[in-house]
Chain A
Amino acid sequence: HVRANDRDYNEKFPYAVSENTKHMLSQCINDTDNHIKTCKYNVFTFLPVNLFEQFQRAANAYFLVLLILQLIPEISSLSWVTTTVPLVMVLLITAVKDATDDYHWCRDWFIPCGLPVSPLPPLPHLPPLPPLLQADILLLSSSEPYGLCYIETAELDGETNLKVRQALTVTSDLGADITKLADFNGNIICEPPNNKLDKFTGTLYWRDNKYPLDNEKMLLRGCVLRNTEWCFGMVVFAGLQTKLMQNCGRTKFKRTSIDKLMNTLVLWIFGFLVCMGVILAIGNTIWEQKVGRSFSVYLLWDEPIRNNNVVFSGFLTFWSYIIILNTMVPISLYVSVEVIRLGHSYFINWDRKMYYIQKDTPAEARTTTLNEELGQVEFIFSDKTGTLTQNIMVFNKCSINGKSYGTRDSRCAFRTACVDFSFNPLSDRKFKFHDSSLLEAIKMEEPSVQDFFRLLALCHTVMPEEKNEGDLVYQAQSPDEGALVTAARNFGFVFRSRTPETVTLYEMGTAVNYQLLAILDFNNVRKRMSVIVRNPAGHIKLYCKGADTIIFDRLDPSNHVLMNTTSDQSQQAASEFAGEGLRTLALAYKDLDENVLEEWMKRLLYASTVIENREEGLADLYEEIETGLMLLGATAVEDKLQEGVPETIACLTLANIKIWVLTGDKLETAMNIGYSCNMLRDDMNEVFIISGHSVLEVQQQLRLGLMAHALEPELEQVLLETACLCKTVICCRVTPMQKAQVVELVKTNKMAVTLAIGDGANDVSMIKTAHIGVGISGQEGMQAVLASDYSFAQFRYLQRLLLVHGRWSYFRMCNFLFYFFYKNFAFTLVHFWFGFFCGFSAQTVYDQWFITLFNIVYTSLPVLAMGLFDQDVNEANSHRYPSLYRPGQLNVLFNKRQFFLCTLQGVGTSFLLFFIPYGAFCLVARDDGSHISDQQAFAVIISTSLVIVVSVQIGLDTYYWTAVNHVFVWGSLAVYFAILFAMHSDGLFSIFPSHFPFIGTARNCLTQKSVWLVIMLTTVACVMPGLAVRFLKTDLYPTLTDKKVFIPLHLFHILLCYSLNSEWITYLFSHPSILNTPY
């Protein structure tokens, strides 16, 4: 419990908000809790903190230990430089990356903290940035009468209609009196912070009175004030304790499955390394026992060791070999992976095809660690409002008296001309309608059409605003209501103004005053609203609009008898509209008798004053009068989808990605969207709905066949299994936390990669929970984007992000890892073979400089270029054949089996690399007779062979040779030879004789024909088997990619999801028949 003005009291509770009445003014955000500190470093702490963090990473700590081991002379088998140089480079690159990351991260977060949220008491309506509330506030008073306050909660629950909050009468009397407000000293005792958005219980103690508080008096963080000039409130919760933040879920460090696999593999390699060390150490023990012991004549100083304890010698050898073989766990692996991911992120940022020109918003990869997982997504969880839809409602069609008006499909509307509304000076210029016959009907003064629009103009709760003469702005609770009123306005029935008792219309230019007798509200159970009005002629009429099924049940039987055909047609039209994904409302009216109404009004007045069961009583009364209705027609409002949404969904479905829509919206709305997105189609006849309020109810429905109870632990599994059997899953009425729970459910039980996409604060928790979170940017709220890993402006870019960027990233990363592990095995295991010849003495095969530079200079760039630029399939084909996405989901390109294969290839290569030169040079001489079988020559021959073999291999592994690849591959070879000759030059040796003992070896070796013969043989022997295996695989078990690359276009069904912009393709998509035919 929290007391508003009692800091001492509050501090007794860990969650108490530092708040008092002096700071009650609603927008006071200087509360320290509201600042979120995300910067890790500053200029001075950077170096120590960053180094400390880096060495906490297992890999870096491991290399540090190695470095220390190398300083022990008995163990040191490599000079300390060989580990230090790469380690320093890795630390440096990582530090730079961390610093830039931190810089960007800080910068991002300063934006929300510093939003211009109007800190002054009267909240001025700042047009460009709507005032987003920053704390949970108890409403005290507002500019509107009765302390009313309108808010939009789209950020919280995705609902876009206006909601009303009302202050307590006692506090609303405070008005805008600053001194009074400042003296306000009420105590609030309320529930502890929680994540329930629709509940609040508390009590206000003020002036010796108790006032109950509920959610209707609260303005939650994330709300936007609408139609309210200012309001005052008292902050109850701020910062992390607000309901919004409580709903955000925890930020978890996200890691990709490849990352986890990589860590496992590194552990395996480490185990492998230890095994090798043990084998070689045992070998050393045995060798020392049998051979080395007699050799001690030449190695005097080891005599005590050798004579007394060969096991100790083996122990030292173990560590020496750990040092030598450490390159199997390559230090540059992690940093290379990070560089590649960074590159992929930049490619996403740079992509013009994901740049939304209208909002000047490019796509943004906000994290650089998840790219390859974009190629493995199996489940997409999408928000609806603002993500799939534009959140714009358009009056699209109507059916009046059985006759349908409006074009068949709004998306091919460009074919028909817009209706000219110029006759009407009060019309809304932005309104478009494509069927002029309706206007003609209006002009013919057909009574039913007139009544239809009159109803639309009267039956609603819209507030008009007319700042200048004729410049009408409607403030609607829900956008579809606004769309209907706007339609009526354009067709000549202009809703001009309202008072509590009257409504003024301009019917075809003439003002008509209706007396408003009663408003029968809309609610979710009734699914309809009605008004009872008296027109100037004195006739009383009830106008009703509502869900078609509800209205049809309440029609007068005469409708069916007399207007049988009409009613049928209207019903048919209504269901047709719904099938097209339009929101359908049926309209009806009823003439009322004065006496009947009078009697009814009395009962209504009584019912509205009873305390117990008031709701039920009112509902019964409404029900009583809303019977025997006469059908007028039906309207169809399109919840305008974002461009390309159905195509994107179709394409992603073809890529075997399951799309679930999670929305806080109503069931009907959600289903409509399902239809308009092609997620639900007419041919799906087993659409079933699970809803219920108790565990048992839901359980039964699940057995037969939404959320609140299905997320109880015992039902989770049933829900999941049922849902996964479905083609399409739409969850409605879910709270932000439940969205996250659904994601978590799939994530933990299906072992699949999940992606959540959303635009509002209500999506933050699911964005954070999913493996990958995507935010729709360029909109009002920033929360979703800030919590997301990727952001872009339009839902349709998801297709490109997954099918092109994700696929490439995954493909590249897998190829990169395969090659990288192969390369390091081939490089390192040569030492293992050599161990058997050098008495397991941990003598290196290579020059120490070669070991230092191999990973970071000679072979780093070509594989980086492959990891950054490679493309097995170009982007057009990636879109054209969404099934190419499948390998990523199945995780076939890099897994433990692939790792085993690359280990095998690496081991084989190292074997050939060692034994072919061994066989060739063991007893051979140069062509001038002098010997060449010395260790230095051998080192040069093997290292040259190695560099050439791995270069040829990368050449074979590269599918897409850009100029960069050429430069890197040939450049690396050139650099290798340049450095080789430089290291072996006279000059360097004469300056540092003990560091460059290989003087002249390169010259003396590489001028020999036999050396080149051996290098050539080694290369051929190492590369050909892999080439043959790959060719065989392509022939025998071609992968999807092979097929797609191989088969010319005409053999395949032409799937039309690529062309996002061409309208006729959209048209084709709306016809399932075309999708099913082969062409």
Chain B
Amino acid sequence: MGKAKANAGPLARRPDNSAFKQQRLPAWSPMLTAQTVLPFFYGMAIVCVLLGAWLLVTVQNTHELKVDYTHAGSCDKCFEKRKDRANANQSCNCTVVFNIENMFKGDVFFYYGLINFHQNLRQYMDSRDDGQMIGRNKNLRNPSSYCEPFIKDKNGLPIAPCGAVANSMFNDSFTLVYHSAAGSRVVPLFRKGITWYTDKNVKFRNPQVENKTLTLAQVFEGTGQPLYWQKPVYDLDPWDRNNNGFINEDLIVWMREAAFPNFKKLYGVLNRAIEPFTDGLPAGNYSVLISYNFPVEYFQGRKEVVLSTVSWFGGQNNFLPVAYLVTGCLILLLAVILTAVWWKFGKNGRNMEE
């Protein structure tokens, strides 16, 4: 195994005297002594507790309101109606009322939430074609086999967008109404800018065509709409022609599959340009007009509307501050135990003697 060396002579086979080969590399040997470990534990405890306290205070200043509308208010009838699949094409509208006691200051975000909807099933998550969604014409006409069986409609046309994820897209729509003394008025929501920049601009693209004059409908000609959809993909947003096709923001939001069966997805952002919403959502009575399309009764799911403000570390999140406080306290406890043990056994090195 010894490497033959070029130089001959009496000491030809003598190994090199390098620090590496002789295992004498200069090195730093940190040691777990009480002088380093105990201060570290106390330091970590303090950092965690302080951070936790700060986060807690921050979270206290955020607001969140959840309204379960599965069969609340007048939605009960819609819930019953959606039980029968034959009624899928009949529209059903209902209203849920709620009250905001304290004003939601700052940016307010409007989410829809689904409970017990498994977007994280393996077969479900795989059932999409990113090649199609990025606008590749090949994939548009000939989607990936992963989309099976949501790949061709009953006419044999390729489905765009194909796959189970797109097929099950959430299709309730909401109108938030503010009831003040001055009367009822619709709360203005931005329905765009609710996606990640990368999704909107890179990951999702409409099919590229050389002829720029073609309408979106023409571009998607020869493709079928997903089975459960009521509208084709190029007609998702009737009010904004640029928000159609694969770059429809609701579609993009839906296509970012949730990790857990309970999730919320952004629906809109409060437009604060208009009075009286410049400072956020004022306290008062509100109602949500819901176009109730998405059936959840098959999977014992629930639907909800969430209104929330955010802090510097994101939306309302009680777990993080509490977790920090708990961790901090546990570390403090550990530190005290360590100190006691060290004081009793390790300090004068009694245990160290043989």
Would you call B120 and A1013 a contact (CB within 8 A)? no
Contact residues in A for B44 (Cβ distance below 8 Å): 1020, 1024
A952 smallest CB distance to B (angstroms): 12
Closest residue on chain B to residue A290 by CB atoms: B300
B334 contacts across to A, CB distance below 8 A: 1024-1025, 1028
- Judge if A1000 is at the interface, Cβ distance under 8 Å: yes
Question: Which segment, of A40-48, A622-630, A986-994, faces chain B?
Answer: A986-994
Chain B residues whose CB sits within 8 angstroms of the CB of A617 once the complex forms: none
- Closest approach, in angstroms, between the C-beta of A890 and any C-beta of chain B? 16
Cα distance, A260 to B154, chains bound together (Å):
60
Contact B198 A986 (CB under 8 A): yes
8 Å CB contact of A931 from B13, B253, B311: B253
| Contact assessment for B14 and A357 in the assembled complex, using a CB-CB cutoff below 8 Å | yes
> Which one of B118, B124, B323, B345 lies within 8 Å of A1017 (CB-CB)?
B323
B residues less than 8 Å from A366 (CB atoms): 1
Instruction: Decide if A935 is an interface residue (CB 8 Å cutoff).
Output: yes
Q: Is the CB of A352 within 8 A of B17?
A: yes
B258's contact among A104, A841, A935, by CB below 8 Å, is which? A935
- The reply on A227 being an interface residue by CB < 8 A is no
A841–B341 CB distance below 8 A: no
For A302, list chain B residues within 8 Å (CB): 123
Contacting residues of chain A (541-588) with chain B, CB-CB under 8 angstroms: none
Out of B124, B260, B345, which one reaches A918, CB within 8 Å?
Answer: B260
Q: How far is the CA of A1025 from the CA of B327 in the complex (A)?
A: 11
Q: Is B167 an interface residue (CB 8 A)?
A: yes
Interface size class of B (residues with CB under 8 A): 35 or more
The residue of chain B having its C-beta at the shortest distance from the C-beta of A1027 within the complex is: B37
Give the A-B pair count, Cβ closer than 8 A.
309
In the complex formed, the residue of A with least CB distance to B38 is A1031
A935/B120 in contact, CB under 8 A = yes
Please tell me if B250 contacts chain A, counting CB pairs below 8 Å: no
Within 8 A of A (CB), among B81-100: none
Also in contact, A990 and B17, with CB within 8 A (given A297-B298, A839-B121, A963-B26): no
Q: Establish whether residues B32 and A1034, one from each chain, have CB atoms under 8 Å apart when the complex forms.
A: yes
Q: Which of A362, A837, A936, A1046 contacts B261 (CB 8 A)?
A: A837
Q: Is the pair B15, A1021 in contact by a Cβ cutoff of 8 Å? A: no
CB-CB under 8 A for A997 and B130, given A922-B262, A1047-B352: yes
B320–A355 touching, CB < 8 Å: no
How many angstroms between the C-alpha atoms of A118 and B22 in the bound complex?
A: 42
Task: Please tell me which stretch of A165-173, A382-390, A1001-1009 contacts chain B, meaning at least 4 of its Cβ atoms lie within 8 angstroms of it.
Answer: A1001-1009
Query: Which residues of chain A have C-beta atoms less than 8 A from B32's C-beta?
Result: 1027, 1030-1031, 1034
B25 and A841 contact, CB distance less than 8 A? no
A927 contacts chain B at the CB level, 8 A cutoff: yes
* A869 interface neighbour in B23, B198, B349, Cβ under 8 Å: B23
A1068 close to B (CB within 8 Å):
no
For B327, give the chain A residue with the smallest CB separation: A1021
Docked Cα-Cα span, A962 to B316, in Å, equals 45
Q: Is A246's CB within 8 Å of the partner chain B?
A: no
When distances are taken between beta carbons in the complex, the residues of chain A under 8 Å from B331 are: 1020, 1024
Q: Are B260 and A351 in contact (CB under 8 A)?
A: no
With both beta carbons as reference points, the residue of chain A lying nearest to B324 in the complex is identified as A1017
Partner of B352, one of A292, A345, A926, A1046: A1046
**How long is the Cα–Cα vector from A1004 to B260 in the complex, in angstroms?**
19
Q: Is the CB of A838 within 8 A of B17?
A: no
Q: Is the CB of B313 within 8 A of A1010?
A: yes
Q: Interface stretch among A87-95, A435-443, A503-511, A1036-1044?
A: A1036-1044
Chain A CB within 8 A of B218 CB: no
- Pairwise interchain contact B123-A1028, C-beta atoms closer than 8 A: no
Is the Cβ of A931 less than 8 Å from the Cβ of B265? yes
Question: Closest residue of chain B to A367, judged by CB?
Answer: B1
**Interchain nearest-CB distance for A1009 vs B (Å):** 5
A1014 within 8 A of B: yes
Chain B proximity of A270: nearest CB distance (Å): 23
Interchain CB contact (< 8 A) of A364 among B2, B23, B120, B146: B2
B260–A922 CB distance below 8 A: yes
Determine if A841 and B1 form an interchain contact, defined as CB atoms under 8 angstroms apart. no
Which B residue's beta carbon lies closest to that of A354? B15
The count of residues in chain A whose C-beta lies closer than 8 Å to any C-beta of chain B is 106
Contact of A999 among B124, B202, B263, B312 (CB under 8 A): B202
Would B202 and A989 count as touching, CB distance under 8 A? yes
Which of B203, B338, B349 is within 8 Å of A1032, CB to CB? Answer: B338
Asked whether, in the complex, the Cβ of B30 is within 8 Å of the Cβ of A961, the reply is yes
Query: Contacts A931-B266, A1028-B41 known; A349 to B120 CB distance under 8 Å?
Result: no
Shortest Cβ distance from B36 into A: residue: A1031
Digit string of A525-542 for contact with B (CB within 8 Å is 1, else 0)?
000000000000000000
- Bound-complex Cα distance A1014 to B321 (A): 10
Q: CB-CB contacts of A282-322 with B at 8 A, as 1s and 0s?
A: 00000000011011011111100000000000000000100
Asked if A920 and B258 make an inter-chain contact with CB atoms under 8 angstroms apart, the answer reads no
Q: Taking the complex as formed, is B308 at the interface, i.e. its CB lies under 8 A from any CB of chain A?
A: yes
B118-140 interface mask toward A, CB cutoff 8 Å, 1 = contact, 0 = none? 11111111010111011010000
Tell me the minimal C-beta distance from A563 to chain B in angstroms: 55
CB-CB under 8 A from B116, the residues of chain A are 291
- Name which residue of chain B comes closest to A361, CB basis: B13
A341-362: CB near B (< 8 Å → 1, else 0) gives: 0000111011111010100111
Interface pair B21/A962, CB less than 8 Å apart? no
Residues of A within 8 A of B31 (CB): 1045
Contact B299 A1000 (CB under 8 A): no
**Closest residue of chain A to B331, judged by CB?**
A1024
A924 within 8 A of B: yes
Instruction: Please tell me if B271 contacts chain A, counting CB pairs below 8 Å.
Output: no
Nearest CB of chain B from residue A277's CB, rounded to whole Å:
15
- Please tell me which one of the listed residues B23, B259, B313 contacts residue A1009 in the complex, with CB atoms under 8 A apart: B313
Q: Does A929 contact B (CB under 8 A)?
A: yes
Q: Once bound together, how far apart are the Cα atoms of A299 and B14, in whole Å?
A: 70
Taking the complex as formed, is A932 at the interface, i.e. its CB lies under 8 A from any CB of chain B? yes
Contacts of B118 in A (CB 8 A): 291, 295, 838-839, 841
Instruction: Say whether B312 contacts A933, CB under 8 Å.
Output: no
Q: What CA separation (Å) do A235 and B89 show in the bound complex?
A: 102
Is A916 close to B, CB under 8 A?
Answer: yes
Interface residues of A in 1039-1076 (CB under 8 A from B): 1042-1043, 1045-1047, 1051
B150 within 8 Å of A (CB atoms): yes
Contact B22 A351 (CB under 8 A): yes
- Asked, given contacts A350-B22, A839-B121, A1010-B314, whether A294 binds B299 with beta carbons under 8 Å apart, the answer is yes
Give the residue name and chain of the B residue nearest to A932 (CB). B314
| Contacts A352-B14, A932-B314 given; does A925 touch B266 at CB 8 Å | yes
Task: Find out whether the CB atom of A960 lies under 8 angstroms from the CB atom of B313.
Answer: no
Q: Are B264 and A923 in contact (CB-based, < 8 A)?
A: yes
CB–CB A355/B349 < 8 A: no
- Contact check, B341 vs A1024: say whether CB atoms are below 8 A apart: no
Knowing that A841-B121, A922-B262, A931-B266 are A-B contacts, what are 20 other residue pairs whose CB atoms are under 8 Å apart, sorted by A's residue number? Answer: A295-B118, A295-B299, A297-B168, A350-B16, A355-B15, A362-B15, A838-B118, A839-B120, A843-B125, A923-B315, A929-B269, A930-B253, A931-B258, A931-B263, A959-B29, A960-B27, A1010-B320, A1035-B342, A1035-B351, A1046-B349
**29 CB < 8 A contacts A-B:** A291-B116, A291-B118, A294-B299, A352-B17, A355-B15, A360-B13, A362-B14, A839-B261, A869-B27, A921-B259, A923-B262, A923-B317, A925-B315, A927-B310, A930-B195, A933-B264, A934-B258, A935-B257, A961-B28, A990-B202, A994-B129, A1000-B196, A1000-B197, A1010-B314, A1017-B324, A1031-B342, A1034-B346, A1035-B345, A1043-B353
Q: B residues near A, CB below 8 A?
A: 1-2, 10-17, 21-23, 25-32, 34, 37, 41, 44, 48, 51, 55, 107, 109, 111, 116, 118-125, 127, 129-131, 133-134, 136, 144, 146, 148-150, 164, 167-168, 194-199, 202-203, 253, 256-266, 269, 295, 298-300, 308, 310-317, 319-320, 323-324, 327, 331, 334, 337-338, 341-342, 345-346, 349, 351-354
